[in-house]
Structures are given as structure tokens and as C-alpha cells.
A and B are shown apart, each in its own frame.
Chain A
Amino acid sequence: EDQVTQSPEALRLQEGESSSLNCSYTVSGLRGLFWYRQDPGKGPEFLFTLYSAGEEKEKERLKATLTKKESFLHITAPKPEDSATYLCAVQTSGSGGSNYKLTFGKGTLLTVNP
């Protein structure tokens, strides 16, 4: 069974204090790894898709990287508006996988204090 584990569960940063969130996965046949942002009372909002080890994507203060076992979401000089829950999800081709189904981790709750 595909598994996605995110750490830490919660992270509190001061504004400007850079850090990284981790997503480790155990899957059979990774098709893609996805990062989403979720604000309270809202649905997941797409950030990045990574397909192969070594790939990197950037958007404003966020940078996502992928290895064969894990992905990191690096946050550089965060601002209070970056506070949200960050979700990692995988799309797989193994048993139970498909081109339309995502397996999510539990998320990391990021709080950035001014």
C-alpha cells in the first residue's frame, strides 16, 4: 500500500526564517508528486508537480525538490501570509494507483509569526 509521511506535523517560524518541510513516500511506481496549500476552511490549492528524481520547481518563496524517497518544500524568507497547511500527495502506477487518484499525507501546519 502506498504511504506518504509528512514532517514535522507543525512548524512555527519567525518572518524571514527559512526552513524546509519533508514528505517521504513508499510507493510502487511513482507517476508524480504533488504539493498543495490548504488554508482553513478551504480546499487544497495546487502548487507544484514533480515527476522524476532531481527535478526542482520554484514559485515565489517556495521551492520543491524530489529524490527517489522524499520531497522537500523549501520556504525562503517566509511571510505571515505563507501560513497554511502544506499537503503532499502522490500519484502512482502500482496496485491501487491510477492516473486520477491521489494519496495524501496528513500535512504540515506552518505558522509564520510577524
Chain B
Amino acid sequence: NAGVMQNPRHLVRRRGQEARLRCSPMKGHSHVYWYRQLPEEGLKFMVYLQKENIIDESGMPKERFSAEFPKEGPSILRIQQVVRGDSAAYFCASSPAAGINYGYTFGSGTRLTVV
């Protein structure tokens, strides 16, 4: 039973390019959460999605960032026109039901470097 799969593991983008980060939840999990870990900072909640719905995007910057979790396929975190300050590790977690107490499992993350 594969865990939460994130790809790519490392992503390098030039300033102004777009970054697409993918997260495939664990089998049977339909709830996905994205977190960002800036250098020297703790993980910060960004967005919570269920299939085809954004439930809470209160932690996501209003501009340039978007997230989706389509009916088929992985969840995508999209960052348009990346800037140096977007360099961070992005983690997703999944659970079979809404809430931390239902097997909330993290993936290994995508390390984004903006040059």
C-alpha cells in the first residue's frame, strides 16, 4: 500500500515560470491538505481539498497560488510567476475522512528552488 506520493521530489524554476506540484493521496483517501515549510520556519497550512472541492484555502497566498483536486488524478498545487520567496518544501497529507484523527499521513514533499 503506497503512501502519499508527491512529485517531483525536486523542482527548479526560474523567476517568472510556473511550478506544478502533484500529490497522489493514499489509496482510499479523499481528503488532501497542503503545507509549506519555508527555510527556518515551521510547516504552515495552505489549503484543504476534497475531490472537486476546495474546503479551506485560508493559508494560501491570494495571488499566483491555486490548488485543485479533480475527480480523477492527483491533487495539483500550482504557483504562477514564481519568485525567490516561493523557494520552500511543499508537503501534502491525506486522510480517509475529514480531520487529523483519521490517519493524517504526509508525503515526502517537493523541494522547490527558484533561481
Contacts and interface: CB of A to CB of B under 8 A. Distances in A.
A4 interface: yes
Given A42-B108, A46-B104, A91-B100, A101 B56 contact: yes
A43 interface: yes
B28 interface: no
Contact of B4 (A43, A87, A99, A104): A43
B82 to A, nearest CB: 21
Nearest to A51: B101
Interface string B11-54: 00000000000000000000101010000111111001000000
A31 B20 CA distance: 34
B48 A104 contact: no
Interface residues of A, number: 25
Contact of A44 (B9, B31, B55, B106): B106
B44 to A, nearest CB: 7
A7 B112 CA distance: 28
B99 A43 contact: no
A100 B106 CA distance: 13
Given A101-B45, A104-B35, 14 more contacts: A36-B106, A41-B9, A41-B108, A43-B91, A43-B106, A96-B58, A99-B99, A100-B31, A100-B95, A100-B104, A101-B100, A102-B43, A102-B104, A105-B42
